[in-house]
Chains A and B, each alone.
Chain A
């Protein structure tokens, strides 16, 4: 399946992804999160960046 990077519009080939998974764009290096649009189709959005309370 081919998805679009929301940052640079590059094509990203993905296999067996699940919602919430993080990918990075090979073209621009952006960290992207897999989610679904209103129709249930997979899409990518820019992932949240690390917060100061992140961790265990």
Chain B
């Protein structure tokens, strides 16, 4: 029997279309499954097992939806890209920083506090400007540049009023002096499949493609490749978006994304990213 793959989605973006095309080109069955139209039995692992095939590419845009379905599928013995442990780490910036730090990978200095008062003390210790990020979320959402004490106080007061308690985990990071760009790499298994610069748009300091950042090819060197693969390994590996910044002392890794968006990378890189992802999934299915 040839291996069977599923694509778990809640919205078909460019990336999901490209994965479907890449599978078609190879004559591989990739069954699209809409996560919004699923209900699953979580108390009997044998139920619904056959619905998903050998390997599932979890591509939900809703992080918590995808994460929880991954947990259920793994309990049923289905292989998911990425693993629950990897997705749960990458979905939380604090947990990611812990693993990067533990692995000795250069990463921006980060302090965490749990009250506004203590966060102000942490900021005094770290110095301004600094960056505050929600521990969850994506696309640069609610990431703020704290230029001075007054800005910090205002942002923290707003944060304190926000309903989701995760916003009161105050994750603050040193502001890295960097060019107006960062580096996005797409890791597939043990390989860096693509590497691009993401330039911030003229009206935003953040480099996210979702915020209007522009992609350009970035030349890869051995030092960067080694660091990227170590970071991917630190969170458990799989298909990942590992982001780096250039500093005067070398590269730092600031983020690892588990449901990597590669539209920007595909627009400038010749690498067949979706093809490599399908090949990787097939490889897992055969093992």
Contact = CB atoms under 8 A, between A and B. Distances in A.
A19 B139 CA distance: 25
A22 B17 CA distance: 12
Given A20-B34, A35-B34, A54 B9 contact: no
B95 to A, nearest CB: 15
Contacts of A33: 11
B165 to A, nearest CB: 13
Please classify how large the interface on chain A is, using the bins under 10, 10 to 19, 20 to 34, 35 or more.
10 to 19
B11 A20 contact: yes
A48 interface: yes
Nearest to A56: B257
Interface residues of B, number: 29
Contacts of B122: none
A35 B34 CA distance: 10
B63 A47 contact: no
B126 interface: no
B139 to A, nearest CB: 5
Interface string A31-56: 00101000000000001100111111
Interface of B: 9-13, 16-17, 20, 32, 34, 36, 61-64, 91, 136-139, 141, 164, 210, 241, 257-261
